[in-house]
Every structure is written in C-alpha cells, then in structure tokens.
Structure 1
Amino acid sequence: MQDEERQTAVTSHRGRTAGTWLLSVLLFLGLSAGGFAALSVVFNGPPPRFDSRLVQPEALAFILFFLLIYFVSDGLRLYFVLRAIGARVNIREIFPLVFINIFFSNVTPLATGGGFAQVWYLQKNGVPVGASAAATSIRTILAMLAIFFAAPAFQYLHPDASTSEIARITMQSLSGIGVLYLIAFILVLRRPYWIAALIGTLLSFACRLGLIAEERSGRWIATVRREAVEFANGFSKFARGSRKSAVAAVISTLVFLGVLFSFPALLLELLDYDVSWMTVIGTMSIVTFLMYFAPTPGGAGFAELAFAGFMASQMAPADLLPIVFAWRFLVIYLGMAIGMVLSVFFLRPSTKTRTRTRTRTR
C-alpha cells in the first residue's frame, strides 16, 4: 500500500513538474509576443514585411556558417573548462547540453534553470556534482567577465555610438555597475570570507527584524560561506589546472561571444546596409549586459525592447521588427526548440531507474 502511495506521489510530482515547465514556456512565448507588440507601438513603424534577401542561398550559407561556429564554440567552452579542472567527459556528450542549456536558461528567470540542467546532465554522464557545478559556474563567469568588461569599455571608447538619449544614459550607468561587479568578483576570489561575512551580517539583521526565522538565517549563512569558498576554490583549480585547456576555454568563450554579438551585423549586411561591425558588436555587448538583469524568462519582452532601443538608429523602421525577430530566432528560438526535444530524450529517467520504481511498487 505504501509503495502504491509512493508511486502515486512520484507520478503526481512529475505531472506538476511538467505543468510548471509548460507554464514557463507559455510565459516566455507570451512575453516575447508582448515585446514585439510593444515595439510596433513604441516605434510606430510600418507593418513588418518578410525580406526574401535573408533566404537567398548565399545568405543562408552565411547564416548556417555563423550558427555552426556559435553552437560549436558554446559547447567547446564548457568542454575545455571541464578539462581544465580535471573532469573527463566525451566531447560528443557536451553538444546536446548546448541546446538543453539554451532551453532551460530561457524558460527560467535570470537563467537559473540552465545551471541545474547542466549539472544534472553531466552527472548522468559520469561527472561528479562538485565538478559539474564548478565547471558550469566558471563557464558562466568567463562569459560574464568578458561582457561586463566589454560593455563599459565600448561605452568609454564610443560614447556617442547611440543617438538615443535614453540608450546613452543607460550605457553610462552600466559602466558603474560593471566596475562594481568586477570588484565584487575579485573580492570573492581573493577574500571569499569577506563577502560571506557581509551577507551573513545582512541576514542576521533581517533575522533581528523578524523578516526571516533564526533557524533559516543560520542555514543560509552556512550555505553562503560554503558556496563562496567552494567557488573561489573552483576558480583557483581552473587557473592552476591545464594551462592549454584554460586558454582554450577563454578563446572559445571569446569566439562564442563575438559570433553572438555579430548576428545583427550579419543580418544588416545581408539587407545591404553599410554596417560598422565593431559598432554593432559593441552595442550588442551592452544589450546582452542588460539582459543579465532582466527578471523575465530568457529576458523575453525586455530583450526585444533593449535591442530596438540601441539598434533602431542603424536601420530603417520597416526593417526593425523583421531583424529583431530574425536575431531572436537565430540565437534563442532555434536553440530552444532543439533543446526542448533533446531534453525529453536525454533527461528522462533511465531504464534502470524506471525498472527499480516498478519493482518497488509490486
């Protein structure tokens, strides 16, 4: 009887989980549609039109080439981080994770689901949880460091790159945030206990105010201390590990970001615009920087508006919506669709797990 109740509970939990993910996907789609609707109202341009120049054989060849580099470099940056910290994984096992990560990262706020999905997947493929968590964190941090450095640097070198006053003020404000982030990152690496002590003090203060229970406060403080130290140790291990793998991880990250930021320039080039690739790449570093702080799943709605705010001056109003959609389709929607299919195949319970569950219920 207990086994039947347990099986019923497991089935019910899986059903709730599936329902939650479905709602997350629908929320992402709804917010994305809302973002495009807001664009059409804010910029008051003509109705979007399909441009056949984007599907000409030569254009498709360039787009496929960029996509190949984009996805391959994304997989290689995690593979080389794993190699640098001493984890051994088959490179063929990494590439499904590229799409699985894109899917989960874009249906959870602040991309929180991507890390859990990566750790789960790597654990199923023989990588210990500690190594998986360290590798995925380092992979993310390398990209964030590059973006958080590039965005203020571009704003400093090209302060008048955007003709929008709001965009210009935003870019200037982001410089300060980027500097603060880099300082905090260095402190976590060099003095992890300082950050842990600061957060612990804030949690203790919240406890005294009655905002959180004392037991929960103590548990959170212990977790923060442990995670801060583990993060610093993991990054140190990465720096002390295989030098070749570490350098390869950094190069792969830079290639990945360079291609990611270049997609709008490619689309404009295919539509016969006179494009300054460096200006577009720098502007997209700002847009991506902003998306790190978007509370919506995958930055849906926010990403479209941020892109238009910074890039609208570089194209005709009639081309704005088609280029925004093409950009999001290539860097997000396509990977999400593939990732959704691969998630069902790779993250489903193994045959052994299902067999053990059936045996226990008999």
Structure 2
Amino acid sequence: MNKIYKRFVVLILLVSVISGVVIYTTVDIHTLRNLDHFQPWSVALAVFSVGLGLFFDGSRLMHLVRISHEKITLYQAVQVIFGNYFLALLTPGATGGAVAQLMFLRHAGVPTGKAAVLVIVRTILSIFFLILCMPFIFLHDAGIVPGVSNDVLMAVTVTAFLVLILLVIGARRGYLDYIVIRLAKRMKNERRRKVFAFFRDTKSAVALLSSAPLQMLVVFAESGLNLLCIYAIVPCLLLGLGVTDIDWYTVMGRMIFLNMLLYFTPTPGGSGIAEGGFVLLFSETVPAGTVGIIAVSWRLIAEYIPFLIGFYYTLTVFGRDFLHRQLGK
C-alpha cells in the first residue's frame, strides 16, 4: 500500500501548494476589509447548490440506466457519482473517473458492456451541453480570453460542434467503421483491441442516445441542471461578499467556459489549471484581494469534499484491495 499512500501525499501536497500560491499571490491590502463583510450563510447556499447538482446527476444516471433496461437505486447512483470524483482527482486527465463509474455500476448489477456505454453517454451529454452554451457566452462576453478574439473562439466552438455531430452520425450509420479499421491495422494487438472496444462502446452509446428521444431529452436537461447548479457555487460565494451589482450572466458564462477547458486538462482533476484559470477570468470581477480565496473555496466545495466522500464509498464498497489495484500500479 506504500504507493497508494504516496499518491495521497502527493495529491495533498499538490493541492496545498497550489492553494497556498494562489492565495498568497492574490491577497492585498483590501483582502481583510472585503472578507470582513463575508456572510457564512453563502457557504451553506453553495453547499446546497452542489447538493442539488449532484441530485440531478444521480437522477440522470438512474434515467439512463432505465433507458438501457437496467435498474439501480438512488443510493447506488450516489456511489457512482462520488466514486467518479474520487478517482478523477487522483489520476492524470481525470481518466480514473471513468474506471470508478464502471466499477460502481458493475457492483450495482449493471453488465460491463452497458456500464461502459452509460459512462460514455454521460460524458457526451455534459460536453454537448457545454458546447451549446459557448456561442451564447461569446456573443455576450467580449474578450473572455486575453489575446484571443471571440470570433476565433466562436469558430472553434462551431467547428467542435459540427465535428461532434458528424462523429455521432458517422458512428450511428457505420461511416466510421472503415476509418477505424484502417487506423487500427497499424497498431499493436493490445492497443488495437482497446480501440475496437472503445469504438464499439461509442457506437452503442450513440445507439442508446437515439433509442428514446423524449427520455434522452429529459436526461439532457438534467445534465444541464447538474452542471449549472455546481457552477453556481461562485455566485453563491460572491453574494456572501455582498456583490450584487455584477453581471451574473457573465459570471456563469465564465464558469462554464472554464469548466469546459477542464475536461481536456492533463493534470489530476484539473489541479493548478482550474485555480489559475479562475484567477485569470475573475480577477477584475470579484472584490479586491479575494479572487484567490474564492478560487480555493470553489475547488474545496466542488471537488475536494466530494473527493473525500468518494474515498469513503470506495473503501466501503471495494476495500483497500481495489485501491491497491487501481492506484498502486
């Protein structure tokens, strides 16, 4: 278990160093004055917002499982969600989150093949919702990324949207089969098997998406509510600082933009990039000297507390042997 303990120690040190640097480099003479007006009820409001978001996440998972003709309880769905937070934060690029979801779904009685499909569908729906939000953000918030025009960002978003749609259509109708087979021929056997397995699961996920349009529309709406509730942590904390005269559309838009980027970051759980991106996007929006503190508070409520709950569920359900297999490699 030494490697596991080392992984935890490294994570704790990484989070501590990043949080300390972010706070240290952003405090100024106005910090204490602004924090003096902070209202503790906003923390409770932020936690409630996260809880509501997690409820929608669990609800959409249960609906997806039902569409696949399987069944899980709300408690089992909660385990899947928190397990995702746990392993996602411990692995580069949050790759362990998918493994955790798969393991908890299998433990809940969902067959491996269907569990893999459900994990892919959850990711596709979340990314699709964020991509759909991007045009509305860029049309409203000029200069969201310094040095990059919104026209360029809009073009990238539209291209990503079209590519995603084409990939879905191609997978659904079999147009991608030839391309995948041609590419896989140049790979080693083990990697080829993984590519074929992933492509098969992706095709099954696309088939599931189109199998029940009305039910999937409900799941998509729950995906959006899940994300919006979790991103609302920052507005809740700003209200606690007495901020009421800012553009909340812009605040939520920038949270959506930042979290979209975090889907593609190589660091565990987006650590470092999330805090740095938050400071970059909100340094002129929040009260002076508080941007670093709010960034760390956001990560604590949105990621680190769910991580600890996921750690508890993982140990309770699978024991230390599971951690040894997944983290002790």
Q: TM-score range by the shorter chain?
A: 0.7 to 0.9
The verdict on how the C-alpha distance between 1:140 and 1:54 changes in structure 2, with shifts beyond 3 A counting, is farther
Rounded to whole Å, the distance in 2 between the matches of 1:203 and 1:126 is 32
- Correspondent of 1:70 among 49, 53, 62: 53
- Correspondent of 1:286 among 249, 257, 272: 257
- Alignment-derived partner of residue 326 in structure 2: none
- Correspondent of 2:273 among 302, 320, 340: 302
Q: How does 1:227-238 map to 2 (within 5 A)?
A: 227-238=198-209
Higher relative contact order (CA 8 A, sep 6+): 2
- Alignment-derived partner of residue 123 in structure 2: 140
Q: How does 1:17-36 map to 2 (within 5 A)?
A: 19-36=2-19
The verdict on how the C-alpha distance between 1:21 and 1:184 changes in structure 2, with shifts beyond 3 A counting, is farther
1:184 alignment partner AA:
V
Partners of 1:28 and 1:298 within 8 A in 2: no
* 1:77 counterpart SS class: helix
- Alignment-derived partner of residue 327 in structure 2: none
1:160 alignment partner AA:
A
Partners of 2:143 and 2:150 within 8 A in 1: no
Q: What is the CA distance between 1:65 and its match in structure 2?
A: 2.5
The verdict on how the C-alpha distance between 1:180 and 1:240 changes in structure 2, with shifts beyond 3 A counting, is same
Say if 2:314 is the partner of 1:343: yes
Rounded to whole Å, the distance in 1 between the matches of 2:102 and 2:178 is 28
The verdict on how the C-alpha distance between 1:44 and 1:319 changes in structure 2, with shifts beyond 3 A counting, is closer
Mean CA deviation greater in 179-188 or 191-200: 191-200
Across the two proteins, how many residue pairs are aligned to each other?
317
The verdict on how the C-alpha distance between 1:349 and 1:326 changes in structure 2, with shifts beyond 3 A counting, is closer
2:161 alignment partner AA:
L
- Alignment-derived partner of residue 234 in structure 2: 264
1:345 alignment partner AA:
T
TM-score (norm 2): 0.84
* 1:110 counterpart SS class: helix
Higher gyration radius (CA): 1
Partners of 1:262 and 1:277 within 8 A in 2: no
Q: How does 1:123-202 map to 2 (within 5 A)?
A: 123-155=106-138, 157-160=139-142, 162=144, 165-166=146-147, 169=148, 173-192=152-171, 194-195=175-176, 197-198=178-179, 201=182
Say if 2:87 is the partner of 1:117: no
Rounded to whole Å, the distance in 2 between the matches of 1:195 and 1:27 is 41
- Alignment-derived partner of residue 59 in structure 1: 42
**1:138-183, CA deviations, whole angstroms, 9 ceiling, x for partnerless residues?**
011100111122134311x124264x624xx286654444334333
- Alignment-derived partner of residue 331 in structure 1: 302
TM-score (norm 1): 0.77
Rounded to whole Å, the distance in 1 between the matches of 2:228 and 2:257 is 13
Q: CA RMSD in A?
A: 2.9
Unaligned runs of 5+ residues in structure 2 are 322-329
Rounded to whole Å, the distance in 2 between the matches of 1:89 and 1:348 is 21
Fraction of identical pairs, as percent: 21
Rounded to whole Å, the distance in 2 between the matches of 1:46 and 1:114 is 40
Q: How does 1:202-281 map to 2 (within 5 A)?
A: 216=188, 218-241=189-212, 243-244=214-215, 246-273=216-243, 274-281=245-252
* 1:313 counterpart SS class: coil
